[in-house]
Structures are given as structure tokens and as C-alpha cells.
A and B are shown apart, each in its own frame.
Chain A
Amino acid sequence: MRKWLMFTMLLAMAALYSRQATAERKENHKDYASSSIAECSSCHKGEGVAPNHDSDWVRGHRLVAQKPGRNCNDCHDQAFCLDCHTGGGIDTSPSNQTFRRDYKPKSHRSDFLEIHPIKAMDNPQSCTRCHSEQKFCIECHERFRANDLQFQSHRRQFSDIQLSNVGPKHEGFSATQCQSCHPGGMLPTHKWSADHAVEARRNLQACQTCHSEGDVCMRCHSARTGLKVSPHPRNWDSVKGNYRDKSNGRSCVKCHDHF
């Protein structure tokens, strides 16, 4: 069996090598960088150059761009990538928008400050590809009151809850008065708890925008204090050692005495 396996592998390697050896060398494409897609298609239909540059290119180009061997580099300068990915703008045409001094991709149409709470829901990962530095989001978000944000969990806080059907809302009380009615109690145990868990699981990156260090999370989710609610995923027992070893326990000690 092993011999057959070895023989098959050798045969496959030989076939691969002969195909590679006879393959045509790629032509320098810089001169064609400004060609229309139709012109590209006439030569490259089978190689997928045209399907890579269709109207869905913004969403689909990731796979093309990460091909080793500097695929994009055949036609484009690195500036072409970085104008979007880190916000340059040297080839900006009048049809391109800018945000301050940065180039702004077309997905940010209209006034993005207004529509991004909805637009940013589409594939939550896509925002962090460009805005990996949380300060970008924090600069605006930290200036809002929590109740002004869109999240359900932040709209429904204890201040909205009435003491009884006819009683006053909690907003009439200050935080220092909590313990007089809830001696020894942890307070955020109302509807808020369920809502915030669902929202956080769907888009935890949004939480990090304002609570970058997670301090507000740890009021309940720490192993030391508060409600001591475990936030970990189901496979935690099998992966916790990975986190401990790689981060040297930096995250563990935020909530645990020992790791």
C-alpha cells in the first residue's frame, strides 16, 4: 500500500513539474493597467481576469489579492491597495469621496455617520479589515451617552424600568441609592442582561469600540467579583491553555487569581 502511495505521489509530482516547466511565463501587464475590462476579457476569459473585476469586486477581491506571487502587482502599484486599506488618495478622481484627508470606499456612500449603524451590520468582519485600530471608532462613540446608541441593551437600562405599574421610573434615583432597596444585590439583572448577551454574541467587535478594555464586562463576568458569570465559549476547556501560553496569561489575570 505504501509503495502505491509513494508511486502515486511521485507520479503527481512529475506531472506537476512538467506542467510547470512547460507553462508560459507571465507577460508584464503594467502597460495594460488602464485597459477596459472588455479588453482584458478578450484575452483572459479563461483565466478569470474579467470575473475578478466585475461589479462585485470590492467584496470579492480579497481572494485574488492574497494569491502569492504578487498577483495585483502585475498591473497595479501598491498605492492602489493602500489608498483604500489605509486611507490614501493620490489617484482620487472627482467621483471618489474623501473623509477628511482619507480616501473613502464606495461602500461608504451617503453620509456614513448616519447610515453606518445599519451598513456596518453587513459582514461585521469587513469593518475591522480597514479600521483595525479601535481609536477610529472610539473617537466618536465615546462622546455619546450609552442611551443614545442604537443597541437595545443600552436603550433599556434600569433607568427606564418603573418600580410598579404606577410608580416612578428608576431614573429618579441616583446610583448611591441602589443598595437601600437592593441590599447586597447586583443590579443589571433585568431585561438588559438577556439583550446585551444576544447583541454581544452577534457583534462583539461593536462592544470593543467603546469598552476597549472590557472593564464594564468584568463587573459581572470576572471570576473574582460581581455575578461571576462565565463568558467563555463552549470549547473553552480545550483552548484555554492556548490563550494562557500565547498571551503569557495577560488576559487570564484580568479576571482570575490563578491560571
Chain B
Amino acid sequence: MGIKWFTHILLLAGVVSASTGFAAQINGRSSTQLIWFNDYYSGRQVELVEYLRLSVTKIDEAGKFSLYGYGRGSQDLNNGDGLNGRLYYLYADYRGLFDKVDFRLGRQFVNNSAGTALVDGGQIDLRNIGPIGFNVFGGRDVVFGINGEAGHSGNYAMGLSAYLSGFRNTDLDVSWFRKWDDGDVSRDILGASFKQYLFNRLKLYGNARYDVTAEVFNEVLGGVKYFPMANLIFTGEWYQSYPTFDTTSIYSVFAVNRYQEGVFRVDYTINDMIAVNAGYSRQDYGDDGIANVYELGCRLHPISSVEIGLAYDKRNGYGGKLDGGQLDVAWDVTKGLQLSGGLTYDVYQRDFYLDGSSRETAQKYWLGGKYKLARNLQASLRVEDAITARDESDINGRFVLDYDF
């Protein structure tokens, strides 16, 4: 279905751009990819995938009307999975009607502080009418499964928000989000978020979602960022969630624990060559389930053409222990050629393990390269090998040819 839609709209875009004169500008990227991997159950799989993203702008004289699309089609070459497609978005966008109204119509990603959805529908933004702006969206709720769409009949989503507009240091909004499943209301959420900058070095922020059906706050976030300099950021956060489910799911009637998390982090860009970060999180799952997570990372530029990234974290507590991280290196050999590589290494110990053994490792090594064949044509290759308790070697890869137009 996704492929049909995408093809139709591509044709429509061509017609629109042709029919509205010669001003329309079409830009985008075609990415043709050959990927190969081991499906855990079906064995070796090779696929040919075509991604297409395009934008048609300046359709009208004022440049307010545009079309945007993004989708993919894939053909399995050896395992019988056949042809698959996915349309991510395809919408017409009109900005600045009377300098006050923006419209979007078509498949699009929509979100407000109460919820998120991919809809086949519309979105209207009313702005420049004073200190408060309004946003409304709604349409058919699009749900993707592994292969194609997995929505049910009667899946709809809609949202409303009112927000402060035009304030340099303050953001505040309140919103409402509702979903339907087969005509019944499956989600009903109120949301709010705010952000306030103070003294040019402090940021306070928060977000809350209230499940109207369960009458609980299912997510609350409060945080503060202190940045005495633009290159040094201290973060302190508290977050809690209380899982809620669609009203149409039997799980919506079950008691659950509140999850809480406290976070402290620091990010420091020391100079053009070194940036470091460190963090600590304490997680509380209720019923005495506690875990601690420690993180360290850095990004290095020993010379301008080389970038090295290192990340390490250590977790212990409820669920098990995990100790590991990753390294990646990118080298711009010439203006058109980049070589890169990296590895991940994890040592873990689950609370309970299949065969009674307690300590395992998971490793992954990868090499890649990117070469600019022309100003608008680029080829890249990535090959990776994973070594785990399950596989001595699991080689995956992809070859990509990107054409920008």
C-alpha cells in the first residue's frame, strides 16, 4: 500500500510542479542500497532497497506552498520475503496564510507534549495572533509493523495545543492527545511542558503527561541545566513514569510500579581537540529494584581530518550487570574520501541466564568508507562482524549509492 501511495504522489508532484509553471524547485536524494545480513531464524538474506526523499518547493510565487515525501521500497533477493514498502511521510505544506496560518495535509509525523503519532491527515498551526499560538492535528493513525503497516480499522489520532509564542527565554505549552482503536477511545492524555532560561546560564525545564483514563501522571520530568560557559554544561534531572496502556488492552487494568530515575551529567568541550562527558543515573523500579549507571565519553580531534569517539558505561543492579562501550574513528583522507572504523565491546551478566553461566561478552567490529564520485553522487560501504555467545561470527554489510538532485 505504501508503495502505491508513494508512486501516486510522485506522479502528482510531477504534475503539480509542471502545471504551476517553471518556478517549482525539486530537490531530494535517491539512495540505492544493497544490504546483506543474517536473519536470526531465516538465515542469510540479501536485499535491494531504494530510498527516496524529495521536496518540491517554490510551487507558488511567494514560495509558501511545498510538497515533501520520503519512502522506501525493498526487494528480498534470496529468502522469499518479496517486495516491501514503507511510506514515512508525504504531505503538502502551506506556510503563512495571512502570515498567521500554516497547513499540512497528508501523511506526516505529528507531536505535542501529550503524545506522538504518524497520521494520514492534517495539521494546522495558528500563530502571530498574540502571545499564544494554537496547533491542531488529526487523522488516521498509521502503525508500522516489521513488514508494512499494522494498524487496525478505526485507528485515529488527534491533538490540540496552546503555547506561548514569541518569547525568547520562555516556552510553555499545554496540550491534549487522543487515540481511537476501532472507534473506541484507547488513549486520552493531557500534557504540558515548559522551559525557562535565567541569567543567560541556567535553563529550567519540565514536562508532564497525565493519563485522563487512569487518572495518574504517566510521565513527569523536571530538570535544570547550568552552563556557566557555552562549552560547559551541568545537567540534573528527575524523571518518573507510570506505564499505562491502551484502554482496549487487558493490560490497562493491571497494577504497575512507578519507575523513577535521577540523572547527573556534565559535558565539557575543553577546546577544538577534546570534548568530554560523564554521567550518573540512579534507577528505581519499585519493590527494592535499584540500578546504577555510570557513563564516560569523549570526542577527540587530534588533527582536523581525524575524529575519534569513545563511550563507556557501566551498569549494575536490577536486571544484571553491563560493562562496555564503543570506539569509532573517522578520517577524511581527501575532500572526497572518508575512511572510518570502530568497535563495541560489552561484558554482561544477567541476573538469570539460560545455561547457568554468568559472564558473557558481545563484540562488534566495523569498517566503512565513503567516496564522492561527483558533486551529487556518493558511494559508501560498511561491513561489520559481531561475535557473541550465540555466533562466532555474524557478518552484515551494506553498499550505498546516493544521488542528490
Chain A bound to chain B: yes
Question: Which chain B residue lies CB-closest to A97?
Answer: B384
Given contacts A93-B340, A119-B322, A133-B146, 8 further A-B contacts (CB under 8 A): A20-B131, A78-B108, A95-B328, A111-B386, A201-B255, A202-B256, A243-B247, A247-B186
Flag A204-220 by CB within 8 Å of B: 1 or 0 each: 11011000011001100
5 inter-chain pairs at a CB distance below 8 angstroms, sorted by A residue, are A55-B265, A67-B193, A69-B135, A115-B322, A232-B254
B60 within 8 Å of A (CB atoms): no
- Residue from the list B163, B213, B245, B287 in contact with A69, Cβ < 8 A: B163
Contact between chains at A82 and B88 (CB < 8 Å): yes
**Residues of chain B within 8 A of A109, CB atoms compared:** 324-326, 344, 346, 364
Contact between chains at A51 and B203 (CB < 8 Å): yes
**Residues of chain B within 8 A of A60, CB atoms compared:** 223, 235, 237
Selected interface stretch from A41-49, A170-178, A183-191: A41-49
**Residues of chain B within 8 A of A238, CB atoms compared:** 215
A110 within 8 Å of B (CB atoms): yes
Contact between chains at A132 and B143 (CB < 8 Å): yes
Selected interface stretch from A1-9, A84-92, A159-167: A84-92
A11 within 8 Å of B (CB atoms): no
B185 within 8 Å of A (CB atoms): yes
A179 within 8 Å of B (CB atoms): no
Contact between chains at A207 and B233 (CB < 8 Å): no
- Residue from the list B133, B230, B283, B384 in contact with A122, Cβ < 8 A: B283
A135-B146, A136-B145, A251-B250 given; A118·B350 CB < 8 A: yes
Which residues between 354 and 405 of chain B lie within 8 Å of chain A, taking CB atoms? 354, 360, 362-364, 366, 368-370, 380-382, 384, 386, 388-390, 394, 396, 398, 400, 402
**Number of contacts between A and B (CB, 8 Å)?**
366
Contact between chains at B350 and A150 (CB < 8 Å): yes
A181 within 8 Å of B (CB atoms): no
A115-B322, A233-B256 given; A95·B330 CB < 8 A: yes
**Residues on A facing B (Cβ under 8 Å):** 13, 16-17, 19-21, 23-24, 37-38, 41-42, 45-48, 50-51, 54-56, 59-60, 62-63, 65-70, 77-79, 81-82, 85-95, 97-98, 100-101, 106, 109-111, 113-115, 117-119, 121-125, 129, 132-133, 135-136, 139-140, 143, 148, 150-152, 155, 198, 200-205, 207-208, 213-214, 217-218, 221, 231-236, 238-239, 242-243, 246-248, 250-251, 254-255
Looking at A23, A42, A125, A247, the one whose CB has the most chain B CB atoms below 10 A away is: A247
A-B pairs, 9 with minimum CB distance = A94-B368, A20-B166, A16-B131, A214-B250, A121-B319, A23-B166, A247-B247, A246-B185, A233-B255
Flag B70-112 by CB within 8 Å of A: 1 or 0 each: 1010100000000000101100000000000000000011011
**Residues of chain A within 8 A of B286, CB atoms compared:** 201-202
Question: Which chain B residue lies CB-closest to A200?
Answer: B254
**Residues of chain B within 8 A of A54, CB atoms compared:** 233, 235, 267, 277
Q: Give Cα A86–Cα B231 distance, bound, in whole angstroms.
A: 32
**Residues of chain B within 8 A of A135, CB atoms compared:** 145-146, 150
Question: Which chain B residue lies CB-closest to A70?
Answer: B125
Question: Which chain A residue lies CB-closest to B180?
Answer: A246
